[in-house]
Structures are given as C-alpha cells and as structure tokens.
Structure 1
Amino acid sequence: MTHPPGLAPFVYDLFVPEYRALRSGAWQVHHGQNLLTQGYWSPTMLVPRVTVLTRGDETWMSTTPIELESQETGVRLARGHVAVFGLGMGWSAVASALRPEVTAVTVVERDPEVIALHRELDLAAQLPPEARGKLRIVEGDAHAWRPDRPVDLLMPDIWLPLVSDGRVEEVRRMQENVRAAQVYFWGQELEIARHAALAGRALDADGIRATIADFALPLIGPELPDYAEKLRQAAGRHMRGRWLPGTVPPTLADGPPADAADRTN
C-alpha cells in the first residue's frame, strides 16, 4: 500500500504473535487496520494491522507502538525466571520466553476469563518447543502472590492507565513478596520522570539514578546507553496533566506532548 509522504509504517523487530478474534466473558480480541498512532518514545506512525484486547468499552492492550515500546525494555533485558503480573494479550510473556537467556516465565493473572481466553488463543503453539516449555500461567493476585522459586525479573503490568498515582508504592509492595533480583514495571519511565521533576532533578543519567535510589527498587533499563533520551521522549509525548502536584514540568524539546496517555487511546 502507499503511505502518506513522511509517515513511516510501524516495523518491529521483536516477535508479535498472530491473534484470532475471540471473546471470553467481557473480554474480546478484535482487529483494526491503518491506525495512526504515536509510540511510547517514537513519533507518529502508520500501523497497517492492529490487534486490540477490550473489556466492555475499555481497551486494555493492543499491538500499537506505545504498548510494545512501553514493555520492550523489560523483554529485551529479561533473563532467568521472569514473573509477569497481568496476562493481557500475553505479548511480553511469549516474547520473553523466546529469549535464550530466559529459563522460565510465570504469568500471574487474577481474572479467570482472561486465562480462559488464552487457553483458546494458545499463543504458545506459535513458539518453538524450547520456548513453549518455559511458559506457565497461574491464577492469582499480583499484590499477594509469592513465588515458589527465586525470580530474576519481575514485570508488573496490571494497570489500565499508563500513569497512575501510587504506582511506585504498589510495585514496592509486590517486590516485598517476590524479592526479584530485578524489576521493570509498565510506565516506569514516566514514574521516574514525574518523581525526578518533583525533586527538581534533570531528566538525565544522574537525575534518573538518584530518583531510582529513592524508589528503593532494583530497576533495570537505566544501564542502556539511550535510556535517558528515550525517557525524555516518552515524557514529552505522554505527561501532559500527569505531573505530580507541586511539580514544575521540565522543558522537553521534542514538541508538544500527547493528550491523555493510556490504553483507551
């Protein structure tokens, strides 16, 4: 197909499974085409084919750039036993299972209708046997679940909006139960940005490190050479109206930020 001048189509290098249109209780998987959307840190792109998971009128996940990019740092750095909180469309779980550094993936999901949906989808059938055997889905509460063996990476993704107050405290309580060696949570970059700005810190490597130290969480991501730039890009696109009370928003050079950034966009 012909793309509008200057508008790049979305191309992604990590595995994204095929999804059949399905319904389980209030949950539904369906498809769309030719969506114009911003990424988490990427500019507006054309997505030729989109899969969306909805519950009633609410979009809980999709294969849009904002969704994939906002989870990919955890996936790209995953190793050992990975615990994913929140099944959603199962993308981060299957993508992590494909990594040779990952030995097991445990997904904790409290909604039996979502688990039933995934029994029908059977995304693991699209994986090679060695990756398929790493996956395990358990029904449980992310705020109460305790592992039966050590966890190397905890990836919580249980929220509908991309930004929500109290998220750092929630992750801290989860980590108290799991005691993972490393943590990467959904929306992490925006939480770092809003807490750093509240403390009057620059959104650079030093400001990021100091803010993570305040979180008292073993977060991964900042060791990547382009992490600070991606964090600034994400904040520039998605933080309008989401700064903590008392914050003077930093000047971000990437142009006007996006409107409300959540899974309903």
Structure 2
Amino acid sequence: MENISVIREENNKIFALLSNYLNHAPDFIDKEEIDEIANSSISNEYAFAVILAAAFGLDIVDNTRDKNLFNNYFDKMIHHLDVKAYYNNPYYKNIRIPTIKVGNSELKYEIYKPFEGFVCNDIVRTKEGRQVPQIGFFETEFRYPAILENDRIWMTITPNEIETMKEPIEQAFGHVLTFGLGLGYYAYMISEKDSVESITVVDNNEDVINLFLKYVLPQFENAGKITIVKADAFEYAEKHIHEGNCDFVFTDLWHDVSDGMDMYIKMKRYENLSPSTKFTYWIEKSILCYL
C-alpha cells in the first residue's frame, strides 16, 4: 500500500506545476523541440511529456522521486489530440459563430497554437488516490468558439467542454432544465435527441442571451424545443425545482473548479426538492477531487 501522504504530496506538486504552466506559458513547447526528440519509436505525446517535465525542473533520469512522479502521472496526463475528431463534432460542423460584440460580451473564435497545452477532460482519480489532470495538445492550430467578458475568456467550446459534457448529453431525457447558457453547446446537442422533449435554459447574463438568440439559436434545427429564461439560477431553483416539471437538470454555471465548488455545493441542496429528477453537474468529477 502506497503512503497516502506521499501521494497527496505528489498530487499537490503536479497541480502546482501545471497551474503555473497553464496560466503563464501554455504555448512554450514548439514543433522544433518536439521534432528533436520524436522519432519512429518516440511519439509526439511522449516527447511533449519529456519536454514539459524538463521545464518543470524534473530529473527523470537520475532522480528516483522525479522519475516516479513522471511515470505515475505524465503517461496518463498528456494527450495528443486529433483536430479532425473535434471539427467533426455536430456543433462545430453545423453552427457558425460570427465576430460580434454586445455590451461587455464579445462573440468570436480563439485559437490554440500548435503544441499549446490545455485542460482537455475531467481529473482522473486512480485507485491509489492519485489525481491526474488531463492535458491535451494539437499538432496544428485549432480554432474554437468563445465568449469574452470584458476582454477575458469566459465561455468556450473546446475539447474540454466536449469531453466533459458527453455523459450529461447521453443521459438527458424528457423535459430538461439547464442552468447556464454559454454558447448553447449543451442545449444544441441534447436538442438533437428524440428522447428530449423540451429544454429550458436559465441564465442571468442579458448580453450573452441576446447574442445567442440573434446569432446562434436561429441555426439550431430543433430551436423550437428551447426556451431561454433570464433569471438567477439559484433563485429559479428555489422557486421552481419543487414543481417537478423537469426530468433532468444539468448545471454549468462555473468557469472551472476554483469558482465552481461553492456553487456546486449550493445547487446540490435543491436536489431534495425534486427526488424524481435526475441532477447532473459540469466537471463534477473534478470538483469532487477537491471536496
């Protein structure tokens, strides 16, 4: 049995290193560096991991602890993603996002540079208790839709959103209530399902709602299933969850784990108001790693 305190220490170290990398220099790895290492026997994925480990100051050759850290995390953490797999997503194929600004909200495409690292899925928790972040990269530039608030990226549709919404999309049925609009990715994907009869989306950002209603919703083939309600999510839940009018609830109100924990806990309290309703939450697996 591995020492729990050692695993906890390793978890903390990986998260601290990745936080610094993703926040300050996610694009520092380039093709030239990858090409120097990658060959017929060494993949771009492994080369990326080795370069990242070196940038973190890890000695994965002579230092046993660093080598163990690399072997325990990096192999399960770094993912070479296929651009085509995401561009073939139904939303990407069928919905076009214009560049437009309304109030403090701006609709546009952002990009990941080749070999830029980014979070691409929920944290994976191993049976030993290791918490392994999921970091992806593309070989080529990747364009993704985004909403900016005061020039800061607030809502996106990236591989992370696509991967972490797969389960709540697959599970949705009947009359669906979703808290958080964003660019309407979740609403679009479940509107394509025959098993979903109606979708009520609650959001309190008037600029985002107006952008969606004017430029995005008209492109939805099943737009008639969708109703947008401008309201505070928690006030709406307090007033309406107990009515039992929805079969399935999906909550996506947060930007990431750091600002999501408190809202997740708060929204969970409303579950007992409608025992027959199925409740799901964006990046719940990652949030639970911190609780």
Q: State the TM-score, normalizing by the size of structure 2.
A: 0.58
Q: Distance in 2 between matches of 1:177 and 1:89?
A: 29
Cα offset, 1:176, TM superposition: 4.8
Question: Is the 8 Å Cα contact of residues 144 and 174 (structure 1) preserved in structure 2?
Answer: no
Unaligned segments of structure 2, at least 5 residues: 1-30, 39-43, 45-79, 123-133
Q: Distance in 2 between matches of 1:161 and 1:109?
A: 17
Q: Distance in 1 between matches of 2:282 and 2:81?
A: 26
Residue in structure 2 matching 1:9, options 55, 73, 82: 82
Instruction: Using the aligned pairs only, state the percent identity.
Output: 21
The alignment status of 1:100 with 2:191, answered yes or no, reads no
Aligned partner of 1:137: which letter? I
The alignment status of 1:155 with 2:250, answered yes or no, reads yes
The alignment status of 1:19 with 2:97, answered yes or no, reads yes
Q: Distance in 2 between matches of 1:19 and 1:160?
A: 20
Cα deviation digits, residues 160-183 of structure 1 (max 9, x gap): 233443244212234355656111
2:226 corresponds to which residue? 135
Secondary structure of 1:106 counterpart: strand
Aligned partner of 2:121: which letter? Y
Structure exhibiting the larger radius of gyration computed from Cα positions: 2
The alignment status of 1:126 with 2:207, answered yes or no, reads no
Secondary structure of 2:160 counterpart: helix
1:30 corresponds to which residue? 108
| Bigger mean CA offset, 94-103 vs 70-79 | 70-79
2:266 corresponds to which residue? 170
Unaligned segments of structure 1, at least 5 residues: 196-265
Question: Is the 8 Å Cα contact of residues 200 and 229 (structure 2) preserved in structure 1?
Answer: yes
Q: Distance in 1 between matches of 2:161 and 2:99?
A: 19
Secondary structure of 1:69 counterpart: helix
Aligned partner of 2:82: which letter? P
Q: Distance in 2 between matches of 1:178 and 1:23?
A: 39
Aligned partner of 2:174: which letter? G
Question: Is the 8 Å Cα contact of residues 151 and 179 (structure 1) preserved in structure 2?
Answer: no
Secondary structure of 1:124 counterpart: helix
Q: Which has the higher helix share?
A: 2
Q: How many pairs does the alignment contain?
A: 190
Distance 1:181 1:58, change over 3 A: same
1:100-249 superposed matches below 5 A: 100-121=194-215, 123-128=216-221, 131-145=222-236, 146=240, 150-163=245-258, 164-176=260-272, 181-195=277-291
Secondary structure of 1:44 counterpart: strand
Distance 1:54 1:179, change over 3 A: farther
Secondary structure of 2:290 counterpart: helix
Q: State the TM-score, normalizing by the size of structure 1.
A: 0.64
Secondary structure of 2:90 counterpart: coil
Cα deviation digits, residues 213-252 of structure 1 (max 9, x gap): xxxxxxxxxxxxxxxxxxxxxxxxxxxxxxxxxxxxxxxx
Question: Is the 8 Å Cα contact of residues 150 and 180 (structure 1) preserved in structure 2?
Answer: no
Residue in structure 2 matching 1:52, options 119, 126, 146: 146
Distance 1:34 1:25, change over 3 A: same
The structure 1 segments of at least 4 consecutive aligned residues displaced by more than 6 Å after TM superposition are none
Secondary structure of 1:89 counterpart: coil
Aligned partner of 1:152: which letter? D
Distance 1:78 1:166, change over 3 A: same
Secondary structure of 2:257 counterpart: coil
Distance 1:125 1:119, change over 3 A: closer
2:120 corresponds to which residue? 39
Cα deviation digits, residues 139-178 of structure 1 (max 9, x gap): 1111011156621111111112334432442122343556
